[in-house]
Structure 1
Amino acid sequence: MSKILILGANGRTGRILVSEAIAAGHEVTAAMRTPQALPGVEVVTADLRDPTSIETAAKGQDVVISAIGPSGRKASGLYSDAARTLVSALTNTRVIAITSAGVRHDDPNFKRVYRLLAGTLMKEAYDDMRLMESTIRASSLDWTFVRPSRLQDEPATGTYRVEDNQTPLGGWHVTRADVARFIIEEISAGNWSRRRPTLAQ
């Protein structure tokens, strides 16, 4: 059993992460800027742009999972600000952060239509995710960046594929439930430390 702090726990992927972590027997804390009750977990107030609040929330935790995301297309510095906060606030805590397959702009297997979106309408968000990754990679933290392809709100399939730093050939989508299950299983397995698992069916 691990003690896990989940950032973005009230989001679509975050809520599934909470359920999967509880089912796996972990002790879960949800960090939110505006707290709301979540069954089976401790909820704490924390702001991703406030290192002190994150340091307090992460005290005693084994793993911090970042499932954060903006409400619209623009990240407005959310990912990079969160990265700087985590680097400042954490010492011996493992970080698992969800970014996107599109973060690698030259991924040979990333579907062309999504590559175009990542370079146009979603460019600001993807640039900010890249900055998040580079900031955390440059630190002494033990990190894993989970890069899903297009996220779908469907039940877990168990048929997704994983490759390091590139999209599995022919893959273009994956369910949030599969991503959450992969992350929770990785906490115990520890197979992807300082690597960038990219998920797709």
Structure 2
Amino acid sequence: MRLTVFGATGGIGQEIVQQALSAGHEVTAVVRDPSGFAVTGPALAVFRADLTAPESLREAVAGRDAVLSGLGARKRADAGITTRLTRSVLAAMEAEGTRRLVVVSAAPVGPEAPGDGLLDRTMRSMISAVLKDVYADLTAMEAELAASTTDWTSVRPPKLTDKPLTGTYRRVVGGTPGAARTISRADVAHAMLGCLDDPATVKQGVGVAY
């Protein structure tokens, strides 16, 4: 497949690029500063762009089979950036007629898992309160997806770790795995790539966790 990856310099974005290249895909990594991007490969193109300007992104998404986004706020002060940048990606995709989009969101944006105990409900409530602006941003981002013409999927992990790829995790389309506490960035990337050709995930949130 011909794939474009936004947020390619982030932890999840770099994993998407590396795993996609290893799987034989042709990848365009969209970055603001190529000097901060260390991934290389014969099937990789690095595209420098202003992510706030949809017109500058059209070339990066034109003719692609799918787009993946690891865009997200890296700290609370960045809340709001995910919605703004995703809006630019959506505008570029819609202008070029590129339909398939898989983005990363977060577990608290999705529904509570049925049967979760008091500990998990309390932890979820506390985390949501501390990061309420970040999750409000992700909720707004998902609203933009729902209003778009794209065939989108939102992958919603709990707490992220830097542990290696396992390829083994729970996945719930339209819901959240019970006692969803952690998952590695590598496995989130794996799950996002796995959604690309899965029609059951189109226009759905997908909860993932160990």
| Same fold? TM cut 0.5 | yes
The count of corresponding residues between Structure 1 and Structure 2 is: 199
1:198 to 2:204 alignment? no
CA distance in 2, matches of 1:159, 1:56: 35
Q: CA RMSD in A?
A: 1.8
CA distance in 2, matches of 1:111, 1:166: 15
Moved more, 132-141 or 152-161: 152-161
Is contact 2:113-2:176 (8 Å) kept?
Answer: yes
CA deviation profile, 1:70-120 (whole Å, cap 9, x unmatched): 2322334211112321222112321111010111365554653233222x2
Is contact 2:110-2:156 (8 Å) kept?
Answer: no
Is contact 1:148-1:173 (8 Å) kept?
Answer: yes
CA distance in 2, matches of 1:82, 1:107: 29
Counterpart of 1:175 in structure 2 is: 184
Counterpart of 1:144 in structure 2 is: 153
Counterpart of 2:61 in structure 1 is: 58
CA deviation profile, 1:172-194 (whole Å, cap 9, x unmatched): 11111111112222223443111
1:127-142 to structure 2, matched below 5 A, reads: 127-142=136-151
Among the aligned pairs, what percent are the same residue? 33
* Structure 2 unaligned residues grouped into runs of 5+: none
CA distance in 2, matches of 1:180, 1:79: 17
Counterpart of 2:26 in structure 1 is: 27
1:1-201 to structure 2, matched below 5 A, reads: 2-36=1-35, 37=37, 38-40=39-41, 41-91=44-94, 92-93=97-98, 94-104=100-110, 109=116, 111-118=121-128, 120-201=129-210
Query: In 2 relative to 1, CA 7–111 (structure 1 residues): closer, same or farther, beyond 3 Å?
Result: farther
* Structure 1 unaligned residues grouped into runs of 5+: none
Equivalent AA in structure 1 for residue 49 of structure 2: A
Equivalent AA in structure 1 for residue 164 of structure 2: P
Equivalent AA in structure 1 for residue 83 of structure 2: S
Partner SS, residue 90 of structure 1: helix
Partner SS, residue 191 of structure 1: helix
CA distance in 2, matches of 1:146, 1:112: 22
Give me the TM-score of the superposition, normalised by structure 1.
Answer: 0.91
Equivalent AA in structure 2 for residue 44 of structure 1: F
CA distance in 1, matches of 2:121, 2:156: 14
Richer in helix (by share): 2
For residue 149 of structure 1, report the CA deviation from its aligned partner: 1.3
CA distance in 2, matches of 1:104, 1:183: 16
Partner SS, residue 74 of structure 1: helix
